[in-house]
């Protein structure tokens, strides 16, 4: 029989191998899913793992998905390491988009391209403002940040809908719920002609280095991590739990808001009800698959982006439902949680003991046992 035994200390090997094992199990389950749906598994897996990386154009589109996921996941990693459970990054993403869109709509034909800087700063402030509400309610009234941040996602969606259906609706937009198309000066500069990849990717990669320094090379990062791992020890050492709460949430909200600004001033170019794309929720999986480490989030963001693009391709080319993207994301998360058991436990094969029979009892009785 198989038996789980606690390890004396967490396995470093399994900590690295667990995401890879989870991905392998996800692929196997996905193969079975394609068979049940009556589709060729090889073609289905090709949509998810080959098509998104087969040429330069595909890689540029992959980078477009990586950018918001990576930015949001970096902020969430700080929150989760600090034991602050920000589940509402999607709402902070939307508020960042709204704030950035409000600035972008002020641009005209003669506006300088430098307006991109205020647009991005407005996005950061929008995300920080929405996360600040969570921090305030947690700090002053001890409200649960999980519920508050999650419920604020729906409030953010309603604010967006109110604006695009109401005061910000394009008067020449044939009554569609959308703002005016932003002026050309507001467009985020692209990295290369012919591709949609913009400087947001560079900013995200710089942020990876910045967050690595913050978490592992600064006193502030040490305070945040100690507060998350051992709150009692942090209080004994004189670290401020209130400061850690506000720092983690404002950083996380700012990164989500920045992602929202890049999204509306980049590929979308206007505000619509479709701005919420689920990046804030998917980034939670990205952060955990990346082991809450800035470098790990890069690889997990690439993987999650492949799921996004693969789901879209499977929908258009194979006639599969769009929800397949969420299925793969959920499978990856749950298999990771299952495989993480092996970080703290080892599996051992224990030979089963033979069950005594009546004849054995009689023989033992005759021997006086």
Q: Is residue 12 part of a domain?
A: no
Please tell me the predicted confidence (pLDDT) of residue 226. 84
> CA torsion sign, 265 to 271 to 274 to 280?
positive
Please tell me the predicted confidence (pLDDT) of residue 185. 94
Q: Where are the beta strands (DSSP E) in the chain?
A: 2-6, 345-349
Please tell me the predicted confidence (pLDDT) of residue 362. 56
The two tokens of residue 301 are 């963001």
Q: Is residue 354 part of a domain?
A: no
Contact, 72 vs 259, CB < 8 A? yes
Please tell me the predicted confidence (pLDDT) of residue 236. 80
CA distances from 176 to 34, 121, 173, 179, 222 (A): 37, 28, 6, 9, 49
- 130-163 confidence digits (pLDDT tens): 999 999 999 999 999 999 999 999 999 999 999 9
Q: Which phi and psi (to 5°) does residue 234 adopt? A: -65, -45
Return per-residue pLDDT of the chain as tens, 369 residues. Answer: 777 888 888 888 888 889 999 999 999 999 999 999 899 999 999 999 999 999 999 999 999 999 999 999 999 999 999 999 999 999 999 999 999 999 999 998 899 999 999 999 999 999 999 999 999 999 999 999 999 999 999 999 999 999 999 999 999 989 999 999 999 999 999 998 888 899 999 999 999 999 999 999 999 998 888 877 777 777 788 888 888 899 999 999 999 999 999 999 998 999 999 999 899 999 999 999 999 999 999 999 999 999 999 999 999 898 988 888 888 888 998 999 899 988 888 888 877 666 666 655 555 555 554
Q: Is residue 312 part of a domain?
A: yes
DSSP 8-class letter at 265: I
Angle at 322 between CA 320 and CA 323, to 5 degrees: 105
Q: Reduce the DSSP state of residue 323 to 3 states and report it.
A: coil
Residue 126 is part of a domain; what is its CATH number? 1.10.3470
Please tell me the predicted confidence (pLDDT) of residue 145. 95
Q: For residue 220, which of 128, 89, 82, 80 has the smallest C-alpha distance? A: 82
- 77-102 confidence digits (pLDDT tens): 999 999 999 999 999 999 999 999 99
- DSSP string of 175-217, one letter each residue: T-S--PPPPGGGSPPBSSTTS--BTHHHHHHHHHHHHHHHHHH
Q: Is residue 167 part of a domain?
A: yes
Contact, 179 vs 271, CB < 8 A? yes
Q: Is residue 102 part of a domain?
A: yes
Q: Is residue 52 part of a domain?
A: no
Please tell me the predicted confidence (pLDDT) of residue 350. 77
- Neighbouring CB atoms inside 10 A of 315's CB total 16
> CA torsion sign, 225 to 226 to 230 to 234?
negative
DSSP 8-class letter at 264: I
- Domain residue limits at 311: 66-319
CA distances from 127 to 164, 180, 255 (A): 19, 22, 7
Q: Is residue 150 part of a domain?
A: yes
Q: Is residue 347 part of a domain?
A: no
DSSP 8-class letter at 346: E
Please tell me the predicted confidence (pLDDT) of residue 85. 94
Q: How many domains, in total, are found in the chain?
A: 1
Contact, 208 vs 70, CB < 8 A? yes
């Amino acid at each position: 029989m198989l038996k789980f035994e606690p390890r004396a200390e967490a396995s470093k090997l399994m900590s690295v191998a667990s995401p890879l094992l989870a991905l392998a199990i996800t692929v196997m389950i996905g193969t079975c899913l394609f068979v049940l749906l009556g589709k060729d598994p090889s073609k289905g897996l090709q949509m998810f793992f080959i098509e998104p990386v087969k040429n330069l154009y595909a890689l540029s589109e992959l980078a477009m998905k990586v950018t918001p996921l990576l930015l949001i996941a970096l902020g969430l990693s700080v929150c989760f390491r600090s034991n602050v459970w920000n589940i509402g990054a999607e709402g902070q993403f939307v508020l960042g988009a709204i704030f950035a869109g409000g600035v972008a709509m002020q641009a005209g034909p003669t506006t300088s391209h430098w307006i991109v800087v205020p647009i991005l700063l407005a996005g950061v402030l929008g995300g920080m403002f929405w996360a600040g509400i969570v921090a305030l309610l947690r700090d002053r009234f001890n409200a649960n940040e999980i519920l508050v941040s999650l419920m604020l996602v729906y409030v953010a969606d309603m604010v967006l809908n109110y604006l695009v259906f109401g005061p910000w609706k394009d008067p020449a937009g044939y009554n569609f719920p959308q703002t005016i198309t932003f002026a050309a000066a507001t467009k985020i500069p692209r990295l290369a002609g012919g591709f949609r990849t913009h400087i947001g990717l560079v900013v995200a990669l710089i942020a990876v280095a910045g967050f690595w320094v913050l978490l592992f090379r600064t006193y502030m990062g040490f305070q945040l991590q100690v507060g998350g791992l051992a709150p009692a020890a942090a209080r004994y050492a004189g670290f401020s739990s209130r400061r850690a709460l506000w720092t983690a949430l404002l950083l996380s909200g700012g990164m989500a808001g920045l992602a929202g600004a890049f999204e509306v001033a980049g590929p979308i170019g206007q505000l619509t009800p479709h701005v919420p794309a689920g990046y804030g929720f998917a980034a939670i999986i990205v952060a955990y698959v990346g082991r809450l480490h800035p470098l790990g989030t890069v690889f997990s963001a690439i993987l999650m982006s492949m799921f996004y693009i693969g789901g879209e391709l499977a929908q258009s080319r194979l006639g599969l439902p769009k929800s397949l993207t969420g299925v793969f994301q959920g499978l990856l998360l749950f298999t990771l949680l299952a495989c993480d058991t092996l970080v703290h436990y080892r599996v051992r094969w224990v030979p089963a003991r033979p069950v005594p029979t009546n004849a054995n009892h009689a023989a033992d009785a005759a021997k006086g046992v």
